[in-house]
Every structure is written in C-alpha cells, then in structure tokens.
C-alpha cells in the first residue's frame, strides 16, 4: 500500500512540475512561446484574406448562384495568374502588366454579378477597409 501511495505521489509531483502555466493564450514557461506566437500571427495574416472574403460575401447577402459564379471566376483568375507567373517567356514588367489587367478584369466580372445594392455595399466596405488600413501604424519588420 505504501508503494502505491508513493508512486501516486511521485506521479502527481512529476505531472505538476511539467505543467505549463498559460496566460493570455501563450505558454509562459516555454522558450519558444514568442516564436510560436509569431508563427500563429503569420498564419492568421495568410488566412486573413480568406476570412475577410467570407465575411464580405456574408455582408453582401449573396445568393447561392452569385456565390457559385464568383467562386468559378475566382478559380479561373487564379489559374490564369499562375500561368502568367510561371511563363518564362515574359519579363517581370510584362507579368506585372498582365496581372494588373487580370485584376481589372476580375473586378469588372465581380461587378457584373452584383446588383446595385450589393455594389454600393461593396464600395462602402472597401472604403472602410482602406480607411482602417491607413489608420493602422506600420508593422515592424
């Protein structure tokens, strides 16, 4: 009985000594906690555009048909952009020019899918986004 009690006590002490104290969502006793937080922020920023896109689609109250058409157009534009980027025959300036033209085409196609109310709402959301971007302090690099 003494051996079992000693084993349980030893196990409990060992588990407590290896426990990590978490405050504000980060591990305080890990040397790589700041590195992990930086990686998490990078993932948030990478996925942030996708999240903003979903939020915008929700705020515009798109129909299933509109969502489907926008998704098709986005996938098509993404494939065209990949083709342009991987085309070794084009110079960097030509690639930039073609990508800008593709972006303008994508914006026009998006506008063609939206009704007048949705266009106005999109314009409002974009201006708010630009305003917020200007108000934010520059990130340290």
pLDDT tens for 41-80 read: 555 555 566 777 778 778 888 889 998 998 999 999 999 9
Predicted pLDDT at 82? 94
Chain centre distance of CA 70? 18
pLDDT tens for 94-129 read: 999 999 999 999 989 989 999 999 889 888 888 888
In a domain, 18, yes or no: no
In a domain, 29, yes or no: no
In a domain, 113, yes or no: yes
In a domain, 140, yes or no: no
In a domain, 102, yes or no: yes
Q: Give the count of domains, the chain.
A: 1
66 is in which domain, residue-wise?
52-135
Three-state secondary structure call for residue 19? coil
pLDDT tens for 83-94 read: 999 999 989 999
- Tell if the pTM clears 0.85, that is, is over it: no
> How far apart (Å, rounded) are the C-alpha atoms in residues 141 and 139?
6
In a domain, 109, yes or no: yes
Burial label for 123, CB within 10 Å (0-12, 13-18, 19+), is exposed
């Amino acid at each position: 009985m003494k051996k079992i009690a000693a084993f349980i006590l030893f196990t409990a002490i060992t588990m407590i000594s290896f426990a990590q104290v978490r405050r504000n969502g980060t591990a305080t006793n890990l040397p790589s906690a700041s590195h992990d937080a930086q990686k998490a922020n990078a993932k948030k920023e990478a996925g942030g555009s996708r999240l903003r896109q979903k939020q915008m689609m929700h705020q515009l109250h798109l129909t299933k048909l509109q969502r489907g058409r926008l998704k098709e157009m986005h996938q098509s534009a993404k494939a065209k952009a990949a083709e342009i980027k991987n085309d070794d025959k084009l110079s960097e300036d030509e690639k930039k020019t073609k990508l800008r033209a593709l972006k303008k085409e994508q914006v026009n196609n998006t506008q063609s899918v939206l009704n007048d109310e949705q266009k106005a709402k999109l314009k409002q959301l974009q201006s708010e986004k630009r305003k917020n971007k200007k108000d934010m302090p520059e990130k340290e690099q």
